[in-house]
Amino acid sequence: MVEFYQPGESWVHRADPRVKLAFVASSILLLFLLQHPLIFVSAVLGLIGLYRSAGLPASRIWRVGRAVLPVGFLLAVLRAILYPAGTALIAFGPVQITGGGLAQGATLGLRLLGMALIIFLWLFTTESQSIVRGVVKLGVPYPWGLAIGLALRFIPTIRESYDTIVQAQRARGLDLDRTRGLGRVRALLPGLIALMVSSLRASENLARALEARAFGAPGVRRSTLVDIAFRPVDWLFLLLIGLGAAAILLFYLRFGIGADPIRLFP
């Protein structure tokens, strides 16, 4: 991926970036509060449906899952082993695997996957310029907003540069398949040094480009070619997001639904 954004004309792409940011913030808050694995499975399936309704290819979902699932699985296993709760199902000496520990581990892994899918849905369907305009409209200073947009824009570029450097070194005889552990780290050091040099050059060129556009000059009022504005459908989306989050919070706080990793209903 040269950049996160995947061009499209779906309703998710057309939604105001502030609406999508509100969806991200409210969803992550709910994912931190809720505890039952069934809720997280439903959330992941719903997010996959959103990806498909946005016209995003399955490869994008797979990329997110491939990056997050190993870490999520490791965290789930460690949680189940280190924090047993309830009756032991399997015991290996001092190590006990319990139903409560498995439920808490599954919750932790699925929470991480859900958060990644939510954030990348926002990034895949929102241009970097729209992200900058959205956060600036919310009151964030323009330099901060630009820094966020540039960071999101250059993370995939740096990754692509690193892959190009490694492939070039492989063509010159670098063999990474036979090295393990510290030997592999030492073999990658020349590539990391070349990546640092390339990144420093790119940052210098970027600084010159910003200076040529009078960025940071006193008394300069920034303008934009294409501005963003709320449409009636955006207000409707924002209302639905607020009502949905409030309803889930009500059921969680008032009735305790989803507050226990073992039982969905109290």
Instruction: Work out the number of other CB atoms within 10 angstroms of the CB of residue 130.
Output: 19
Tokens of 212: 């040529």
Taking the whole predicted model, whether its pTM rises above 0.85 is answered as no
pLDDT in tens, 46-56: 999 999 999 99
191 vs 243: which has the higher pLDDT: 243
Query: Residues 214-243: what's their mean pLDDT?
Result: 85
Query: Residues 231-246: what's their mean pLDDT?
Result: 94
Tokens of 119: 């954030």
pLDDT in tens, 148-183: 888 877 877 787 888 888 888 777 776 666 666 676
Query: Exposed e or buried b for every residue in 18-55, given b needs 16+ CB within 10 A?
Result: bbbbbbbebbeebbeebbbbebbeebbeebbebbeebe
Strands 88-92 vs 95-98: parallel, antiparallel or unpaired: antiparallel
pLDDT in tens, 63-77: 888 888 888 888 888
- The whole-angstrom separation of Cα 213 and Cα 78 is 51
Torsion over CA: 155, 160, 162, 163 (sign): positive
- The whole-angstrom separation of Cα 76 and Cα 67 is 15
CA dist 59 → 37, 65, 159, 233 (Å)? 25, 10, 17, 29
Query: Residues 188-200: what's their mean pLDDT?
Result: 82
- Evaluate if residue 2 carries a pLDDT over 60: no
Percent of the chain whose pLDDT exceeds 70: 92
Helix count (H) and strand count (E) of the chain?
A: 9, 2
- Evaluate if residue 200 carries a pLDDT over 70: yes
Question: Phi first, then psi: what are they for 97, rounded to 5°?
Answer: -105, 120
Question: Phi first, then psi: what are they for 33, rounded to 5°?
Answer: -80, -45
pLDDT score, position 240: 95
